[in-house]
Copies of this chain bind each other. A is one copy, B any other.
Amino acid sequence: MGGEVKVSRRETVFKEISPSEFFYRNRDLAGFSNPSRALYSATRELVENALDACEAAYILPDIFVRITSADLDGTLPDPKPYLLKVQDNGPGIEPKYVPDAFARIFFGSKFQLKQSRGMFGMGATMAILYGQVTTNKPVSVTTSVDGEKAYSFEMMVNIRDNTPLVLNKSVKPALGKTGISVQLTLEGDYSRAGSKIQEYFKQTALVTPYANILFIDPNGRLFFYERVTEKMPKPAKETLPHPLGIDLEALRRLLRESKESNLKKFLSKNFHRVGDRIAEDFLRYAGLDPDAKPQDLTNDEIIRFGSALHSYDGFLPPDSGCLSPLGEELLAAGIEKELQPEFITVVQRPPSAYSGFPFIVEIGLAYGGKNVEPGVKLLRFANRIPLLYDEANDVSWKVVNEEIDWKRYKIPQDAP
């Protein structure tokens, strides 16, 4: 509490921090707020990357996951350092991309409009960064794209500069196996996170009946989710944005970079399910000249264009061609295999869009049998991502909980 009030004229100190530095300081934003949550998030992010890699290449996934206490006899109390290893049989990634893809925030393969799992394309790097700041240990990544040579990298993140720091690099024979293996050390709390991690594997197994997933936990318990079908959903494709989901920034970029000579062509080349007829009708509705050059629109015209995109009701709903739902047959197979209920019903909803991202919700209901708790078990998946209880930062979670009126489906929103 001061006496005399005086005005100070010290100059404010400004500085810039790197993306890694930002997420190092705010790691809770990305799901790494404490050792329990971090162990769960790290496991989940690496497993989803592994499944995405296999599915994008149409390879039946064999995923191996192991969590081990870093102390030799495992007797230290939680929280403590754990080793987390996740290995897949996907196509691998070219060795030259490994340092940036794993040890650099905002560098990745998921920054496109295509269905994939995972969190904003930065989950693996967040896991590595969290491991580093809590244990000071490097991550080890091994990749093989040809099954002949396997390249291993020991790396840390140079957090201040957001650059990878390769400590060691080696090559050995891949013995015919392609794919990626990641091993990192991080502070975790398996006694708290264990049941949630197990539940995640169980739900994931439900939607990947075409995968073998082997998980060994720190207590030596072995969880094996076995492949029951060799049918896989077809890979997701990159897609054009749906006109209803486009914001003014995206519209401005498309217009400025357009190679089309007029607005009518611009619309039909750049948007999902917009053909000549709809383009003409829309431009009439918006009061825009079909022959105007896309590059020449003024700011005010862009604003009018954008408002009209949101209010025009003649656009077609997204089609599912770019999406990769599981399908009713595979979902039923997954539920049958994991729960063996007396009664199963599965439903696939029509595709919809959220902020330009198309998605499909699939729902399974199971009832009866010794593995299902009393009452109806409701399972919900958006773009094949299981919707667990507190994944509130997940795009799919938002889709399902904010955008869908569950009551319309006669399902109360707080159903299990």
Interface residues, chain A, with chain B CB atoms under 8 Å away: 1-2, 5-19, 21-22, 24-26, 28-29, 33, 56-60, 91, 93-94, 97, 100-101, 104, 106-109, 111-112, 120, 132-136, 145, 159-160, 230-235, 247-250, 252-253, 299, 302-303, 306, 327, 329-330, 393, 398
Given A133-B247, A134-B247, A136-B248, CB of A7 within 8 Å of CB of B230: no
- Whether B106 and A26, one on each chain, are in contact in the complex, defined by CB atoms closer than 8 angstroms, is no
In the complex, the answer to whether A1 meets B60 with C-beta atoms within 8 Å is no
Bound-state CA distance A16–B121 (Å) is 10
The DSSP consensus for interface residues of chain A is loop
Q: Which residues of B contact A19 (CB under 8 A)?
A: 19, 22, 106
For the complex of A and B, list the 8 residue pairs with the smallest distance between their C-beta atoms, beginning with the closest: A133-B249, A136-B248, A16-B107, A12-B109, A133-B247, A2-B234, A8-B57, A17-B106
Residues of B within 8 A of A26 (CB): 120
> Are B232's CB and A14's CB within 8 A?
no
Residues on B with C-beta less than 8 A from A303 are 135-136
B248–A134 touching, CB < 8 Å: yes
Between-chain CB contacts (< 8 Å), 16 pairs: A5-B58, A5-B232, A7-B58, A9-B145, A10-B57, A14-B97, A14-B100, A14-B101, A15-B108, A16-B106, A17-B111, A19-B22, A21-B106, A133-B248, A133-B249, A136-B302
Please name all residues of chain B whose beta carbon is closer than 8 Å to the beta carbon of A330 when the two chains form the complex. Answer: 1
Interchain CB contact under 8 A, B136 and A5:
no
B135 and A248 contact, CB distance less than 8 A: yes
Name the residue among A10, A12, A26, A230 with the largest chain B CB count within 10 angstroms. Answer: A12
Identical subunits present: 2
Query: Looking at A22, A59, A104, A145, which has the most chain B CB atoms within 10 Å of its CB?
Result: A22
* Bound CA–CA A93/B107 (angstroms): 33
Q: Which residues of B contact A120 (CB under 8 A)?
A: 22, 25-26, 29
List 17 other contacts, CB 8 Å, given A13-B112, A14-B108.
A1-B233, A1-B327, A2-B232, A2-B233, A2-B234, A5-B58, A6-B58, A7-B58, A8-B58, A15-B111, A19-B22, A22-B120, A24-B249, A28-B393, A135-B303, A136-B303, A136-B306
A12 x B93 contact (CB < 8 A): yes
Are B93's CB and A234's CB within 8 A?
no
A145–B7 CA distance with the chains assembled, in angstroms: 12
User: Closest Cβ of chain B: how far from A300's Cβ, in Å?
Assistant: 9
In the assembled complex, the CB of A176 is this many whole angstroms from the nearest CB of chain B, namely 13
Q: A398 near B28 (CB under 8 angstroms)?
A: yes
Measured in the bound complex, the distance between the Cα atoms of B329 and A9 in whole Å is 28
- State the Cβ distance, A342 to closest chain B Cβ, in Å: 26
Q: In the complex, what residues of B have CB within 8 A of residue A1's CB?
A: 231-234, 327, 329-330
Q: Hey, which chain B residues are within 8 Å of A132, CB to CB?
A: 248-249
Residues of B within 8 A of A15 (CB): 107-109, 111
Query: Which residues of chain B have C-beta atoms less than 8 A from A7's C-beta?
Result: 57-59, 91
**Chain B residue contacts of A6, Cβ below 8 A:** 58
Complex CA distance for A106 and B327, rounded to whole angstroms: 43
Q: A5's contact among B17, B100, B133, B230, by CB below 8 Å, is which?
A: B230
Q: Shortest distance in angstroms between A71's beta carbon and chain B's nearest beta carbon?
A: 11
Q: How far is the CA of A339 from the CA of B254 in the complex (A)?
A: 53
Interfacial chain B residues near A33, Cβ < 8 Å: 398
CA distance A235 to B8 in the complex (A): 10
Find the B residue at minimum CB distance from A16: B107
Q: A14-B101, A232-B2 are in contact. Are A106 and B136 (CB under 8 A)?
A: no
Measured between alpha carbons, how far is A111 from B22 in the docked complex, in Å? Answer: 9
Which of B5, B9, B230, B234 interacts with A60 by CB under 8 Å? B5
CA–CA, A57 to B10, complex, Å?
8
Alpha-carbon distance A303/B137, docked complex (angstroms) = 9
For A12, the chain B residues whose CB sits under 8 A away are 56, 91, 93-94, 97, 109
Closest to A1 in B: B327
Give Cα A204–Cα B234 distance, bound, in whole angstroms.
Answer: 54
